Structure 1
Amino acid sequence: MAAPPSPPERSSLSPYLLLIIPPLCWAGNFVVGRAMHADIPPAALTFWRWAVAALVLLPLAGSAAWRLRRELLRHWRLLAVLAASGVLGFQYCVYRGLQTTTAINGVLIIATIPAVIPAIAYGLDGTRLRLRQAAGIALSMLGVGIVILQGDLALLAARRLTPGDTWMALAVPMWALYSVLVRRLPAAVPPLVLLLATIIIGLVLTAPLYGADIAAGRGFAVERPTLAAIGYVGVFASVIAFACWNRGVRAVGAAKAGLFIHLMPVFAAVLATLFLDERLQAFHFVGGALIAAGLYLSSTAGRAR
């Protein structure tokens, strides 16, 4: 997480090496979310994911967060938007999407985030949107359309779109918004403190959704597989992935960091094939190629003359 450019974060790892860790952890998050879609409701998985993350972070950053509470309160609006978009919005949409779509479909749609980040930055900061970036966004969206339609326009005419793909598409601007806004946070506050504060706010925002599920009788069995799933998404996909991501964004910026999300489809395809017995189909390759071409156009816009 970061504000305006500040001295580089001290780390034993290069920020570019750190940025490889989040897509690997998040690819695993998609596989776990899909594997447990019939066992844990989306709101419950979202809530307990962040509850575990908060428990892990409290001993590490709790005292510092209390000491810096006045500084955090000065930025409560920004923290609330980050929690609503990155902690609640994105994660809930992903888990809701994985109820009815495959992990491979999900990550291909989410892979468009780097192309959407410049559009969000333009809307919020007035950052110039180059023609190549606009073309890249359009091409990526075309690729997403092919994945959602499974290469068959008849699905659109018959209104037989998979609801999960729509939820995944809603998740894309959520994370793009988080990635742009995270750089506005105060550089003087340690990243883990900012992460803990964001997670706590996110838990408060998620609680009503989870409470509604409980009231409706949509709970889950406390068994070894469900506990293992919650443990993975709470520690690896949350604390470790977010800490590495936020540090990487602070060091290299949202646009460059966003390019590492390109690794998610690769990691997820391997994991989904190994653990979920999912198979890549022709429309995955066509849609993925268009998404990759769009990402290339968007990411090379700054070098184009």
Structure 2
Amino acid sequence: MTHSILDRVSPYLLLILTTLFWAGNFNLARAVSTQVPPLGLSYWRWAIAALVLLPFVWKHLASTWNVFKQHWLLVGALALLGITGFNSLVYLGLQTTTAVNGVLMQSVCPIFIIILAAFLVGEKATALQWLGIIISLIGVVIILIQGDIQVLKTLSFTKGDLIVLLAVLSWALYTVLLRKLPLALKGLPILGYTIILGSMMILPLYLYETFYLNHPMPISWISIGSVAYVAIFPSLLAYWFWNYATAKLGASRTGQFTHLIPVFGLTIATLLLGEHLHGFHWVGGALVALGLVLSNWQPKKL
């Protein structure tokens, strides 16, 4: 997995493909939600990704082993949040909510990152950013209650929406904690450590789902194809492309491409899954977008 091949490709094209792969992950999980168990899909996604990745990263893991031992708690937390927690929660949530709602919940992740960064790493948010946070959260609430104030009064939210929102919070915390990672572990080492450790952490949950809940992973073309897609495209290729583009363009410019995930996700959901956008989706999504614009607004200095 050297970068020589990617040097021939525009990093912007790689970022577009990355967000398309991640949007497809949401829609595929929703499409197979009645046929493929969520924790089974999560486990095999990362177990296969780990096996494919290992030959390319084992030298990096060996050379950074002493650094890893010094920061094992942080690396373990990153694996738990970014691999085990986020992906498993997303797949669980999409059992009972739509792909449309799932990708819209994902769009609020940058807001969570701003809030957590302010409290955990001391990055102070401006008044404009806090205004954006409030507006985006109002948009998320509108989606959660489906535009019906009576839902808010009875607190009868869709369970799947709340689970996906928890997944987004997990990813935001993972992103903020990445900033505490020592330089020696960044890049391929942390990718290898988190994927390997994350897949190991999912294993007990997968076994619980298989034997205690009696929901084993079926062997079918649908399950095999689903696992192959999520292991290769939104996992290995997407992370590889994302890391390369970040090195080329910088984190700030790269991060803005996450806003394409809802665009691609909503398009796929409406065209392929037959899901429909309602008025509350448009209103909530518009408020989330407005909040994101305000949160990232940097007035030009005179």
Using structure 1 for the length normalisation, give the TM-score.
Answer: 0.89
Paired position in structure 1 for 2:43: 47
Question: Can you list the C-alpha shifts for 1:45-67, whole angstroms capped at 9, x where unaligned?
Answer: 11111011101101211233234
SS at match of 1:20: helix
**CA–CA distance in 1 between the matches of 2:293 and 2:46?**
33
TM-fit CA distance, 1:96: 0.9
Paired position in structure 1 for 2:292: 295
Paired position in structure 2 for 1:236: 233
SS at match of 2:183: coil
Which letter maps to 1:168?
Answer: V
C-alpha contact (below 8 Å) 2:60/2:188 kept by paired residues: no
Map 1:152-191 onto structure 2 (within 5 A). Answer: 152-189=148-185, 191=187
Q: What is the number of residues matched between the two proteins? A: 297
Which letter maps to 1:191?
Answer: G
Which of 268, 278, 281 in structure 2 is aligned with 1:281? 278
**CA–CA distance in 1 between the matches of 2:164 and 2:299?**
28
Which letter maps to 1:233?
Answer: V
**CA–CA distance in 1 between the matches of 2:77 and 2:284?**
31
Q: Provide closer, same or farther for how the CA distance between residues 277 and 245 of structure 1 changes in structure 2, counting only shifts above 3 A.
A: same
TM-fit CA distance, 1:253: 5.7
Paired position in structure 2 for 1:114: 110
TM-fit CA distance, 1:16: 4.7
Paired position in structure 2 for 1:30: 26
C-alpha contact (below 8 Å) 1:139/1:294 kept by paired residues: yes
Map 1:47-86 onto structure 2 (within 5 A). Answer: 47-86=43-82
Which of 76, 83, 89 in structure 1 is aligned with 2:85? 89
Question: Can you list the C-alpha shifts for 1:86-138, whole angstroms capped at 9, x where unaligned?
Answer: 10111111111100111011110110111221111111110111111111111
Which letter maps to 2:292?
Answer: L
C-alpha contact (below 8 Å) 1:57/1:196 kept by paired residues: yes
**RMSD value over aligned CA atoms?**
2.2
**CA–CA distance in 2 between the matches of 1:71 and 1:277?**
49
**CA–CA distance in 1 between the matches of 2:86 and 2:164?**
9
C-alpha contact (below 8 Å) 2:67/2:184 kept by paired residues: no
Which letter maps to 2:56?
Answer: L
Q: Provide closer, same or farther for how the CA distance between residues 79 and 14 of structure 1 changes in structure 2, counting only shifts above 3 A.
A: farther
**CA–CA distance in 1 between the matches of 2:139 and 2:25?**
23
Question: Can you list the C-alpha shifts for 1:8-39, whole angstroms capped at 9, x where unaligned?
Answer: x9962565544333321110000111011112
**CA–CA distance in 2 between the matches of 1:178 and 1:15?**
24
> Do structure 1's residue 225 and structure 2's residue 222 form an aligned pair?
yes
Mean Cα deviation higher: 79-88 or 66-75: 66-75
Using structure 2 for the length normalisation, give the TM-score.
Answer: 0.90
Map 1:239-250 onto structure 2 (within 5 A). Answer: 239-249=236-246
Paired position in structure 2 for 1:134: 130
Mean Cα deviation higher: 223-232 or 273-282: 273-282
